[in-house]
Amino acid sequence: MGKGAVFLDRDDTLIENVPYLGDPSLVKLMPGAMEAIKALRLSGFPLVIVSNQSGVGRGLITKEQVRSVDARMEELLGGRGIFTTYKHCYAAPGDPYDEHRKPSPLMLQEAAETHGFDLLQSYMVGNRLSDIQAGDRAGCKTILLHLRVPPDEEQESIRLASFTAKDWPSACDWLLQSKRADQ
């Protein structure tokens, strides 16, 4: 049995969402994200980004632009190599040929298979219902980061999440306490 990982949504979870962000100079961290990532890394958790980037599938940004935004985010969060891997679904919503798009658990399952993670010992952190559904369907504990939850998704997200955190410090505290309780 492998170790647990923390799967993280990107936009409005780690960085402020700018629709179809392709310019790394516009990357701004969400409040508390840097400190939380540092604490999670120190606790030994592998960190994995799982993000729908439909702007690529829509032809609005390129994969290279997504990678440059990811690189800037990583730099702001503490430097290269802090994330074990990135899993992006580049399909536009409704693409009938791509089943990786959250709420599908496939990005999490593929990362777990590649890196030997135990999904039952893992966590998914995000701000959207699709993040919580993906984590739940993969067998992870889920944390709804209640910073920028779309109003029409709020009630169902709260109902489905293992924990609802008002901010990054409370999300990180709950996650680290849960990890200790599971050991």
Structural tokens at position 136: 């739940």
pTM of the full structure: 0.95
pLDDT, tens digit, for every residue of 150-183?
999 999 999 999 999 999 999 999 999 998 887 6
Q: What is the pLDDT of residue 181?
A: 82
d(CA 143, CA 179): 13
% residues pLDDT > 90 (the chain):
89
Structural tokens at position 158: 């709260």
What values do phi and psi take at 9, rounded to 5?
Answer: -70, 160
First to last CA, the chain: 13
Domains plus CATH for the chain? 6-182 (3.40.50.1000)
Among candidate residues 60, 61, 115, the one with its CA nearest the CA of residue 86: 115
pLDDT, tens digit, for every residue of 110-140?
999 999 999 999 999 999 999 999 999 999 9
pLDDT, tens digit, for every residue of 81-110?
899 999 999 988 888 778 999 999 999 999
Among candidate residues 111, 151, 155, the one with its CA nearest the CA of residue 135: 111
Active site residue 9: yes
